[in-house]
Structure 1
Amino acid sequence: MTEEFRAAFQRVLDTAASQAPGFPEAVHDVFRLSSQVPREELAIALETLTPVLGDSEPHAGVAADLSVLAGALVESGAPAGQVGLEVLRQLGSYGQAAVAFLHAWEKTGGGPLPAPNDVGEVEEARVEQVLGDNAPLATVGWWTSLRYGLAAKAMLGDSGVRAAVRADPGALHELGQIVQALSTRLSEFGETAELLRMSEVDRLLVLDRASWRGFRVAFDGLSDNFQLHTLLADALIGKEGHRLPGTRPDPRWVAASLDAAVDPLADVVRGEWDLVGGDGTWVGNEACPGDVPLVDGERVLVLEPQSLLHSWRAGRRHPHVPGSLTVLAELHPDEAAAWWARVHPAGSVRHPQAPAIENDDTGAHRRPPTHFGVAAHFAEVDSGPMSAPFAALDPHLDAPGGELSASFEDITINPGAGAGFPDSPASLFDPPARPPEPADDAEDEPDDFTVPAAWSGALTPTAPGTDDPAEFPGSLSEPPLDEPLWRDPRPLPDPGADVRPANAPAADDPSVIAPVADDPRDTPRDTPLPPGARLLPPMPPGVSDGSTWAPHWKWPMGPPGR
């Protein structure tokens, strides 16, 4: 099978260079065989494809189809390497032309756009009124846009490509403008735009208000702050982390934010903090790490006590992209104190939907009611066209991963033609233990973090003509009344078993003179009692036994009679 794959790939290279008629058939043979050969073979094939793809750029149909082929090989597990950056560079070039086509189309009357694969001479003649001699290139840019979008989405799933793009902020910004403009007309570019945003930031300075400590963290593959919030809680809270106060996240939530599938028995994540920028602006979970503002040249995120309780669905917005987060170093107390002097004061920033703070007769702040926030997606802005060159990729960033997505095989090659909360409720009442003070002789460790090795997961791009939106993990709205936030895991007692309190004297103890006071289970059997009263211990002193009572972790109550 390996020899057959090599022969088919060689035919692709030969027919691409000569524009021979056998090119589409050779490309389909490579698609078919790519899932049956080792990843090492795919990596070799991609390496030989890079110069051919660059030479084929003037031949738009061939270059676009080679880009799709390269994306399929990356999804099969090959590291994207230099071919990934070449695809993004060509997307910047042809994408700029496609955006020009869109603008010219609007200026000549607008109306429904032709599908990229259906654009032809009639549409070219129309935009020529605005673009003149540039109309042919703009039309070709729109014709190839869908294929370049699919290929770029696959390449940006590779962490090495994202790191190389991040290293060139100018190119990242320009390519982002092009992709955002195309995403307003082609849904396939929506995910590409989000993956580009994922490439923006890989480090943060995190300050924890409760402990007045600070940390520098590095991460990759985080598409939104829901994922960042979960991984920060795992890395920082408790003795397993860096001993910040709080409740540690369920390990299943953490696994789903890294590289595992969502566990349906633990698919609702409970938030721990309000996320606020170091300049006092609200950041929140709905945004992405790139939205954390800069303070004195560094992105600073402050973990504030929750002003509005919130939860969200576990998982990753882009399941084919693994996530990671590492604490690089804790700030020295002197450096942390200097940062705290620059950021907003405690309590000055609250959740935008949090209720107003009210004072009771004693002047103490009342506890806000339990509420669940609502997730939002990033606003998409139509921007003008620009070019996007990229620097060479660091060879140390290449690494294998993932499996083939069969959806690439649906592309027509036609060159030249047109829940659960495991914690006990007591953990919600107990005040957090005061964390130990950092050692006085702690030193600020040098920031020598290197970009983690690349990996690539399986991606299922949207096939041409498909406009079903992808489903991503969002937020949890107000919970249904028939799904309480917590259920007592203890089994109901056996009616025939002895359910006396553990500290009660034995029934046959001769020293027993009278039954335990006020315990309904010791009431004679012929005395009428409420149903189940013999099975339960008495209510705590001062607590009503009315049907409307419940601890706050049970609120809201169900309808009467439940």
Structure 2
Amino acid sequence: MIFTGKGRTRFLDAVTGFEDAVGRSDGERAQQAMQDVRQYFEHARDDDLVLIGPRMAALLPEVPPGPRALVAVLIGACVERGADAVACAPQVLDGLAEALGVAQEFCERWAATGGGDLPEPDPAALTEAALERVGQDAAVGWITLPQWEMASVAMLNRPAVRTALLPETRLVLLRALHGIQEASGHDFKCLHYALLVLDDEPLLALHRPTGTGYLLRMTGMGDTFQLHTLLADVLIGGGHVPGQAPSAQEAAVCRDAPGQVPTTGAFNLVTPDGEWVWNEGTPTDIPVVDGVRVVVLDPPPYQRGWPAGRFFPGMTGDLVLERVLGADEAREWLGRCAPPK
């Protein structure tokens, strides 16, 4: 059911009421208005959410830290239903950076007050004793981090947001996240992988059994499982190297089609130094050599299967072949590569 008439008016009025309450620093009224927004959100019209997403994003810095993460999640939901991610992302990612800083403070205070296993980043797991150890503000930063992860991934699903993110900003976020994961032992894998996604990235694939090489370009790869399947699609399916190509459906779900389907690995991915490149990682595990990421394709040592698809269902991906290396060029590159370890 999609709201029309009075239902639509109630939803839009709730959003306006929330904006007004935040502007007046009326916490009680803002809380009630947000409850109304959440009540009506699911059945709101997509064209309304297209307009509301940027409005909520502009308001985000004025929302108190506790409910701010919830508002960020709602902004992410607006983006998933058509709102402009580029307009919404700066405020959400700024909020993420702030939340990471506060969460790091939580980890430091926890260690300084006796250490031990950290509670899960969930309000239900935070006891009064834990609050006394770290303080309210630090606790809010910790328990809202999963919501910031959800909202930020919704932004990072869009290539325009990823390409607009400054490299130094991405590095700061990754370092902060790494510090929190190291200190807490808690894995924020979706956010970590989303921040590692490469776009318009050159990839040199060297097929050792045939002595051939291929310059490709990859975009929107959430993990190496996805890349592996598309390498087989482009190179085997394109008739460049022998082997069993993925089906059209197996390749499609790795690009933009919904769902997952079983597939079987066609290669063993190896670095030029001979180290295995594990499918469970991301394409950033493939090293850069002379300005381009270089991966060697060897025969698979054993049969490996997995569900072909995308780690981020909301993120489209692609791998395209730009050119086939000449025989001498491929031979020179392969001559620099060690055998697999």
Shorter-chain TM-score above 0.5: yes
Contact 1:12 / 1:27 at 8 angstroms: preserved in 2?
yes
Amino acid paired to 1:169:
P
In the alignment, the residues of structure 1 paired with residue 96 and residue 317 of structure 2 have an alpha-carbon distance, to the nearest angstrom, of 26
> 2:197: which partner in 1?
198
SS in 2 for 1:308: coil
Identity percentage over the alignment?
33
SS in 1 for 2:257: coil
Aligned-pair distance for 1:106?
1.9
Rate the CA distance shift 1:200–1:250 in 2: closer, same or farther, 3 A.
closer
Aligned-pair distance for 1:187?
5.8
Any idea what the Cα deviations from partners look like across 1:526-559, whole Å, max 9, x if unmatched?
A: xxxxxxxxxxxxxxxxxxxxxxxxxxxxxxxxxx
Residue correspondence of structure 1 range 519-538 to structure 2 within 5 A: none
In the alignment, the residues of structure 2 paired with residue 284 and residue 63 of structure 1 have an alpha-carbon distance, to the nearest angstrom, of 37
Any idea what the Cα deviations from partners look like across 1:61-98, whole Å, max 9, x if unmatched?
A: 24323212212212333332232232122211221121
Task: Pick the aligned partner of 1:103 from 91, 100, 108.
Answer: 108
268-277 or 6-15, larger mean C-alpha shift = 6-15
Rate the CA distance shift 1:121–1:311 in 2: closer, same or farther, 3 A.
closer
Indicate whether 1:26 and 2:33 are aligned: yes
> 2:141: which partner in 1?
141
Amino acid paired to 2:153:
K
Contact 2:57 / 2:72 at 8 angstroms: preserved in 1?
no
> 1:254: which partner in 2?
251
Residue correspondence of structure 1 range 426-465 to structure 2 within 5 A: none
> 1:426: which partner in 2?
none
Rate the CA distance shift 1:217–1:177 in 2: closer, same or farther, 3 A.
same
SS in 2 for 1:258: coil
In the alignment, the residues of structure 2 paired with residue 46 and residue 125 of structure 1 have an alpha-carbon distance, to the nearest angstrom, of 36
Amino acid paired to 1:154:
A
> 1:460: which partner in 2?
none
Rate the CA distance shift 1:120–1:199 in 2: closer, same or farther, 3 A.
farther
Indicate whether 1:349 and 2:319 are aligned: no
> 1:317: which partner in 2?
311
SS in 1 for 2:254: helix
Rate the CA distance shift 1:4–1:218 in 2: closer, same or farther, 3 A.
farther
Task: Pick the aligned partner of 1:16 from 18, 22, 28.
Answer: 22
SS in 2 for 1:219: strand
Aligned-pair distance for 1:275?
0.7
Rate the CA distance shift 1:150–1:313 in 2: closer, same or farther, 3 A.
closer
Aligned-pair distance for 1:147?
2.9
Aligned-pair distance for 1:199?
4.8
> 1:297: which partner in 2?
291
SS in 2 for 1:155: helix
Rate the CA distance shift 1:34–1:76 in 2: closer, same or farther, 3 A.
farther
Contact 1:201 / 1:290 at 8 angstroms: preserved in 2?
no
Amino acid paired to 1:31:
R
> 1:208: which partner in 2?
207
Rate the CA distance shift 1:201–1:191 in 2: closer, same or farther, 3 A.
farther
* Cα RMSD after superposing both structures: 3.1
Contact 1:215 / 1:329 at 8 angstroms: preserved in 2?
yes
Q: Which has the larger radius of gyration?
A: 1
Aligned-pair distance for 1:337?
4.3
Aligned-pair distance for 1:113?
4.0
Rate the CA distance shift 1:120–1:13 in 2: closer, same or farther, 3 A.
farther
In the alignment, the residues of structure 1 paired with residue 13 and residue 93 of structure 2 have an alpha-carbon distance, to the nearest angstrom, of 27
> 1:160: which partner in 2?
160
Contact 1:236 / 1:243 at 8 angstroms: preserved in 2?
yes
Any idea what the Cα deviations from partners look like across 1:1-30, whole Å, max 9, x if unmatched?
A: 355443332222222222222223323333
Any idea what the Cα deviations from partners look like across 1:374-427, whole Å, max 9, x if unmatched?
A: xxxxxxxxxxxxxxxxxxxxxxxxxxxxxxxxxxxxxxxxxxxxxxxxxxxxxx
Any idea what the Cα deviations from partners look like across 1:320-375, whole Å, max 9, x if unmatched?
A: 4333222233335554444334333xxx215xxxxxxxxxxxxxxxxxxxxxxxxx
Indicate whether 1:288 and 2:282 are aligned: yes
Aligned-pair distance for 1:259?
3.3
196-205 or 241-250, larger mean C-alpha shift = 196-205
Rate the CA distance shift 1:187–1:26 in 2: closer, same or farther, 3 A.
farther
In the alignment, the residues of structure 1 paired with residue 227 and residue 306 of structure 2 have an alpha-carbon distance, to the nearest angstrom, of 12
Rate the CA distance shift 1:334–1:89 in 2: closer, same or farther, 3 A.
farther
In the alignment, the residues of structure 2 paired with residue 161 and residue 210 of structure 1 have an alpha-carbon distance, to the nearest angstrom, of 39
TM-score by length of 1: 0.53
Indicate whether 1:245 and 2:252 are aligned: no
Contact 2:77 / 2:154 at 8 angstroms: preserved in 1?
yes
TM-score by length of 2: 0.82
Any idea what the Cα deviations from partners look like across 1:33-69, whole Å, max 9, x if unmatched?
A: 444455343222222233322344xx31243232122
Indicate whether 1:272 and 2:279 are aligned: no
More strand, by proportion: 2
Residue correspondence of structure 1 range 18-167 to structure 2 within 5 A: 18-20=24-26, 21-56=28-63, 59-111=64-116, 113=118, 116-117=122-123, 123=130, 125-127=132-134, 137-165=137-165
In the alignment, the residues of structure 2 paired with residue 272 and residue 120 of structure 1 have an alpha-carbon distance, to the nearest angstrom, of 50
> 2:177: which partner in 1?
179
Contact 2:85 / 2:155 at 8 angstroms: preserved in 1?
yes
SS in 2 for 1:81: helix
Contact 1:210 / 1:245 at 8 angstroms: preserved in 2?
no
Unaligned runs of 5+ in 2: none
In the alignment, the residues of structure 2 paired with residue 152 and residue 112 of structure 1 have an alpha-carbon distance, to the nearest angstrom, of 26
Contact 2:58 / 2:91 at 8 angstroms: preserved in 1?
no
In the alignment, the residues of structure 1 paired with residue 45 and residue 103 of structure 2 have an alpha-carbon distance, to the nearest angstrom, of 37
SS in 2 for 1:22: helix
In the alignment, the residues of structure 2 paired with residue 201 and residue 90 of structure 1 have an alpha-carbon distance, to the nearest angstrom, of 27
